Amino acid sequence: MPSTPTSTPRRVFYGTLVHAVSLTETEYIQDALLGVDEAGVIAFVEKEVPSGQVEERLQALGWTGADVQVVRMRTGEFLMPGLIDTHTHAPQFLNLGYGQQYELLDWLDNLTFPAESKFADPQYARRTYEGVVERVISAGTTTCCWYGTIHLTTKLLAAICHRKGQRAFVGKCNMDRNSAPYYQEESAQKSLVDTEDYVKFVQQHCDSPFLPSSAVSYKRRTGPTSLVQPILTPRFAISCSDELMQGLGEMLDKDEHLRLQTHLAENPAEVEFARSLYPSLPSYAAAYDQFRLLRHNTILAHCVLLSHDEMTLIRQRESGISHCPNSNFNLRSGVARVADMLDMGIKVGLGTDNSGGLALGILSAIRSASTASKTIVFSERDAPRKPTSNGAATEIRSADGITRPSGFFASSHLPVETLFYLATLGGAQLCDLEDRIGNFVVGKEFDALLVQTGQASEEEAKGWAGGVSKDRLGENVSGKSVEDELERALSGAKDDGVVPIGPNPALLVEPDESIERVFEKFLFTGDDRNLRAVFVRGRQIGGVGSV
């Protein structure tokens, strides 16, 4: 039976907001008021509100009374949109950190297929999926594109995401050829029947209807509103027969809101194998296209080895790419040319691809994506690339709707603003949810992280350090000499006032650091210990504290 809609408390957050507004711009809003209504929708964003005028402004907005909870963010805290993982494998998490000797195809045969075959056991599947989903939520992933296994126990993964409140696209894998004998579906027909059964289950039993909201009308909500939705999941062209791919294309024809995820051009051996199966087609990507699987809501993972023609095809079909740099490094697949994809106007998000990847959460993907981008730049700085095509357009419309000069992103490494966009609004675009989540726009649903950095106010820092201001590391502003401070450091450290270590000892910040600097430090050194609260559609579903 469908779920009964449940309301959340109306909340108002006062403090600093950080969100992406384009591929090249991050907006920092300080002294902001953000209201979340009972439907979990952003009802208003008020900027530059002095602390002493919060109650007055809320009264003017009609947001007062016992049913409104006001959350004043502490020093060093800020709100950012939830992180979106556009590609990962729930049954592989138990293999995290294991199998460094393998590349993709051997890794599948020796580690992945044996691990996934265990999920035929429903008790094993439920126990494992419970722990996996909980850990991923704790890492700040508010939306996740999950691969399950070929088994109908994937229903358990969808049910757990539904119960825990994560926004998720959960897919039962399709594999009817070129797989391990013990881990392969018996026929294309059986795979399709089981997939239809799975899709119906998720649509009927993992329903979370959208409550009426004063901030957004139902007219703006096209398609299903449930947090958990099914997604068709052919593992890759190698493991799916033509009959199976044709059947999946027909399922998409019947339901325009049904999404699809798969792998493409991850590894040289995989590409060679796939091309051998379709010798008459011009490319690996064309194999998916001939079965009508490249659509505006198709997510293609990896795409490390795409040709220019394949990128053109993907752009024409309005499909998107999940960039999984951690996995691509770990399995020695290569470095995806994300800048070229962005320059062609292709939608790009980030994925962890565990256990090909090695770390929980999209923060790790941001860091690896930065390294991948820099790797391309320094490997080519002495050998500039030739133009990929003659007569290329002088300007291109990017995925964020802004027109930029041709080659704009490839001219340098990806900046922090672009990486943050890929992790939030870019992921929302890839999931066909950019009208609902991804940044703090009135009418969007409140999927967010309340981040705590341990940054202290001036008075807090003075109190911690026995009156010695910590405005600058190593700078003495209390009038004492360097010799005096050396003596204190050597002889009285244990008895003196000690600055407490914050929730994450790797995240070192000072009281006077700007929000731009603190935010970048969080992206590159923060972790789950810095997440005070994780929200999806206004409901807190994780975090180390409570709000």
In a domain, 298, yes or no: yes
Same structural domain for residues 248 and 163?
A: yes
Same structural domain for residues 196 and 246?
A: yes
Same structural domain for residues 71 and 90?
A: no
Give 383 or 186, the one with higher predicted confidence.
186
CB 3 within 8 A of CB 209: yes
463-504 per-position pLDDT tens digit: 444 333 333 344 444 567 888 877 776 765 444 444 555 678
Quote the pLDDT of residue 466.
39
**What counts of helices (H) and strands (E) characterise the chain?**
18, 19
CB 541 within 8 A of CB 534: yes
Give the structural domain span for 451: 1-81+438-456+499-547
Tokens representing 204?
A: 């009927």
Same structural domain for residues 322 and 346?
A: yes
In a domain, 445, yes or no: yes
Distance of CA 491 to the CA centre of its chain: 48
267-301 per-position pLDDT tens digit: 999 999 999 999 999 999 999 999 999 999 999 99
| Secondary structure of residue 444 in the 3-state scheme | coil
CB 133 within 8 A of CB 160: yes
In a domain, 237, yes or no: yes
Q: How far apart are CA 421 and CA 25, in angstroms?
A: 8
Same structural domain for residues 60 and 152?
A: no
In a domain, 192, yes or no: yes
Quote the pLDDT of residue 464.
40
In eight-state DSSP terms, residue 467 is T
Is the model's pLDDT at 358 over the cut of 70?
yes
Same structural domain for residues 430 and 444?
A: no
CB 87 within 8 A of CB 324: yes
Same structural domain for residues 256 and 153?
A: yes
Quote the pLDDT of residue 386.
54
In a domain, 402, yes or no: no
**The domain spanning residue 507 has which CATH number?**
2.30.40.10
Is the model's pLDDT at 186 over the cut of 50?
yes
CB 201 within 8 A of CB 226: no
Average pLDDT, the chain: 91
Model's pTM, two decimal places?
Answer: 0.93
6-58 per-position pLDDT tens digit: 678 899 999 999 999 999 999 999 999 999 999 999 999 999 999 999 999 99
How far is the CA of 163 from the CAs of 19, 357, 547, in angstroms?
A: 28, 26, 20
Residue 450 parent element (H or E):
strand 448-452
Beta bridge partners of 173: 233
Same structural domain for residues 190 and 252?
A: yes
In a domain, 461, yes or no: no
Same structural domain for residues 126 and 55?
A: no
